[in-house]
């Protein structure tokens, strides 16, 4: 193919179509567990994370749920991935062999939020959320009758982690904050250094985003054995959890997140209609199972 502006623009149009095909065909799970928050600055302060609104009988003046600043800030990060196509490959009409690479670039851009979100979930045993405690902790403070009491959303353990979540609400246990969407860009001008010095045309993606913790109340994290007994403990805790002033939150577990290491145990527990002894499995299809390598 002759190297000229028209042909290079046509090549980029083709690569962009391949990129979009890879992006759109990728299967992602992050939207099932995280709320998408558009970002308009370099960082966002989440002043409202301490509140889960409820309805009360109106007696006297309204009780205002103040959106007090908890000091939880998420600063966007820059991400990129870049590939180079040798100039001679285009001259020799071999540019098509790079299409799978460009398509894979689209796929990895699409699943990058999965990597961020589920990796954040797995860090919940050590990293801090909006109330100053670890996201999975035994000492989350809530107010009951004017007194501060501690509430747990973990039962500890030392095995592979698994997570039971309520994702039925607009509020979610995790946040995906997006400042700039991923898109394919190029450096293919004849006076670009990569073309002039190295005879390479460069194509890449870049974006700005970050994942963080939402409401700890909507998540239970455990490193205990994933079995019926510990699963029941997690379900009972979520469904009986109360918020400030002792108000039941009405949570409903919807999702079990595991790493590939626990895939078999999760499917036996949730996706098998009968137990090993032939009895009915009372937890059959009680939640959706998500298996992701980034939850390890």
5-25 and 99-122 helices, crossing angle to 10°: 40
> What length does the chain have?
296
Question: For residues 258, 259, 264 and 265, what is the CA-based torsion angle, rounded to 10 degrees?
Answer: -40
* pTM, to two decimals: 0.87
| Residue scoring higher pLDDT (165 or 62) | 165
DSSP secondary structure of 120-139? HHHGGGTSB-TTSSBSS-S-
Residue with tokens 């805790």: 237
Q: How far apart are the first and last CA of the chain?
A: 47
- Domain spans of the chain, in order of start: 29-80+112-181+212-295
Give the Cα separation of 217 and 201 in Å (integer).
49
Please state, for a pLDDT cut of 90, what percent of the chain lies above it: 65
At 234-282, the pLDDT tens digits run 999 999 998 776 788 999 999 999 999 999 999 999 999 999 899 999 9
* CB-based contact 229:235 (threshold 8 Å): no
Residue 50 has pLDDT above 70, yes or no: no
Helix (H, G, I), strand (E, B) or coil at 108: helix
Residue 51, number of CB atoms within 10 A of its CB:
16
Question: Which residue, 43, 102, 122, is CA-closest to 78?
Answer: 43
DSSP secondary structure of 7-67? HHHHHHHHHHHHHHHHHHH----GGGTEEEEE--SSEEEE-STT---------SS------
Give the Cα separation of 125 and 138 in Å (integer).
10
At 146-159, the pLDDT tens digits run 788 899 999 999 99
Residue 87 has pLDDT above 90, yes or no: no
pLDDT confidence tier of residue 191, bands split at 50, 70 and 90: confident
């Amino acid at each position: 193919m002759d190297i000229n502006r028209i042909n290079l623009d046509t090549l980029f149009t083709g690569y962009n179509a391949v990129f979009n095909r890879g992006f759109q065909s990728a299967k992602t799970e992050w939207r099932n567990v995280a709320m998408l928050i558009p970002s308009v600055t370099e960082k966002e302060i989440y002043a409202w994370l301490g509140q889960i609104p409820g309805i009360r009988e109106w007696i006297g003046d309204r009780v205002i749920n103040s959106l007090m600043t908890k000091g939880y800030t998420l600063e966007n990060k820059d991400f990129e991935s870049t590939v180079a196509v040798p100039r001679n490959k285009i001259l020799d009409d071999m540019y098509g062999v790079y299409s799978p690479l460009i398509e894979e670039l689209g796929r990895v851009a699409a699943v990058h939020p999965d990597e961020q979100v589920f990796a954040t979930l797995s860090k919940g045993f050590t990293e801090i959320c909006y109330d100053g405690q670890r996201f999975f902790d035994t000492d989350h403070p809530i107010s009951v009758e004017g007194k501060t009491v501690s509430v747990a959303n973990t039962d500890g353990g030392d095995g592979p982690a698994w997570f039971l979540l309520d994702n039925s609400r607009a509020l979610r246990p995790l946040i995906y904050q997006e400042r700039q969407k991923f898109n394919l860009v190029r450096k293919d001008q004849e006076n670009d250094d990569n073309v002039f010095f190295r005879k390479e045309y460069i194509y890449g993606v870049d974006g700005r985003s970050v994942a963080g913790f939402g409401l700890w109340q909507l998540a239970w994290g455990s490193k205990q054995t994933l079995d019926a007994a510990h699963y029941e403990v997690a379900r009972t805790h979520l469904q009986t959890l109360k918020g400030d002033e002792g108000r039941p939150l009405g949570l409903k577990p919807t999702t079990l997140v595991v790493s590939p290491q626990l895939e078999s145990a999760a499917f036996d527990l949730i996706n098998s209609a009968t137990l090993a002894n032939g009895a009915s499995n009372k937890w059959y299809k009680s939640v959706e199972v998500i298996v992701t390598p980034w939850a390890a």
